[in-house]
Amino acid sequence: MTTQVELEHTESWKLESQYTGYTYDIKVSLPREAAPEKGFPVYYMLDGNSYFQLGRDVVKLQSRNAPKTFIAPAIVIGIGHYGSDEEVSKRRFYDFTPPAKQYVYPDRLKNADIGPHGGAENFLAFLELELMPAINKKYNVDQYKQALFGHSLSGLFVLWTLFTRTKLFQYYLASSPSIWWNDHEVLTYAEQFYHKGQELTADKQKVLITVGSEESFMVDDAAILFSKLNEYALPNLEVKHYVAPNENHASVVPTIMSRAFRVLNC
């Protein structure tokens, strides 16, 4: 006889967005402990279909010894898509890519059916105006310890959010970000971000860019962006870069998750 397995202290609900016209799969992992005075830190995890349970387990296991792991009890939120692999892939290209007047595609995508793209503004509106208020109302959240995590295309979205809506999160965790998208357009957003003198909060905000050493051109892209962010150095923005040895695009996330999550409490 088999039984359905449920994740302890985890809630699951659907949230329909008026901004994207799409219903998202929201999963929330809650600590066992009572909330501290300022509330729990929060990790918002994009591509929740793939990474929510991993992120939940990192926090659950390592928060048992927070003084050594630097990972405190926290709320972990997975934001996922519904459907087949193909449907999810197309939706990711829409939600996580910035709008543009025209798009330049690498050779590997020129004959691919990736579906519509350029919906990042709508998806960000969903996060900022629908999901985050619902989370803040339902749970005891520390408003000054909120992280956004994404990998690949969602890592691109993390960076784009940093450059366009800086104050929304205090911690930006971009794993193997698709900096290549639309002929490296996100580098232009980075330059605009600094030239406009984007205001940061009084407290220091942080961005961590990670990549696997076996990710070919993505290693160089990450290094170029890191160099640019250091070149423009803002005093209240701390930028870190980590290359995971011997890891590729598929294997890198489990190896960097602890390092990424540790940023929230260091």
Return the active site residues.
152, 215, 249
Contact 43, 264 (CB under 8 A): yes
Q: Exposed (0-12), middle (13-18) or buried (19+): which is 53, by Cβ within 10 Å?
A: middle
Both tokens of 49, joined, read 């279909």
d(CA 151, CA 12): 22
d(CA 170, CA 178): 21
Q: Which residues contact 262 (CB under 8 A, 6 or more apart)?
A: 69, 70, 71
d(CA 52, CA 50): 6
Inter-axis angle of helices 85-95 and 153-164, nearest 10: 20
Identify the three-state secondary structure at position 16. Answer: strand
Identify the three-state secondary structure at position 237. Answer: strand
Alpha-carbon Rg for the chain in angstroms: 18
Strand order in the sheet with 237-244: 10-16, 23-29, 75-80, 40-46, 141-151, 171-175, 205-212, 237-244
